[in-house]
Amino acid sequence: MSDSKSTSSNVFNVETVRSLVELMKQHDLSELDLREGDQKISLKRGGQPPIYAAPAPMQAAPMPVAPAASVSSAPTTSGGGEALASDAHLIAIKSPMVGTYYSKPKPDAESFARIGDHVSEDTVVCIIEAMKVFNEIKAEVSGKIVKVLVKDEEPVEFGQPMFMVDPQG
């Protein structure tokens, strides 16, 4: 009788744990925490959290132009009037979401994109963390990176310019 009580009170038996691990694999989860009464289980798999591609931006109401203009105009005016004329052909790579900007996949790794790098439409230029999900952001334009407008671990807004690309470079 005491044996059946101990197995029935153990909510997280081997079969339950196996099914939880299978669910984690099916849904590509890297971490799972469950609590049933006074019992708790924490499951983790893989070394790094999965990196997901950024979803296509929805056609929502546009952000006010003033914040984006102030971010992009600050670096261009530092060079004087000549910089404004020469920057007219540059294309901005903008943030497709709100989150935290990361220039590299790991703190000790090389940056995805630096000034002078040539990028294509499919080149990953940074990661934006949103709600504990790391989203790879692709350039979506070909050319040469001429400006990096965001610092590592800095928050970014939807539509905020992060890089300036010279399509002729």
For residue range 110-164, list pLDDT tens digits in order.
999 999 999 999 999 999 999 989 999 999 999 999 999 999 999 999 999 999 9
Question: CA dihedral in degrees (57, 58, 62, 68; nearest 10)?
Answer: -10
Alpha helices in 47-135 (DSSP H): 65-77, 81-86
Instruction: List the helix and strand counts (H, then E) for the chain.
Output: 4, 11
CA-based nearest residue to 148, from 112, 110, 100, 96: 112
How much is the pLDDT for 55?
61
pTM of the complete model:
0.50
Give yes or no for a contact between 158 and 54, defined as CB atoms under 8 angstroms apart.
no
CA-based nearest residue to 145, from 73, 97, 103, 93: 93
Cα separation, 123 vs 113, whole angstroms: 9
In which band, very low, low, confident or very high, does the pLDDT at 69 lie, cut at 50, 70 and 90?
very low
Across the chain, mean pLDDT equals: 77
Q: What is the CATH number of domain 51-166?
A: 2.40.50.100
Cα separation, 22 vs 24, whole angstroms: 5
Q: Where are the domains positioned within the chain?
A: 2-44, 51-166
How much is the pLDDT for 155?
95
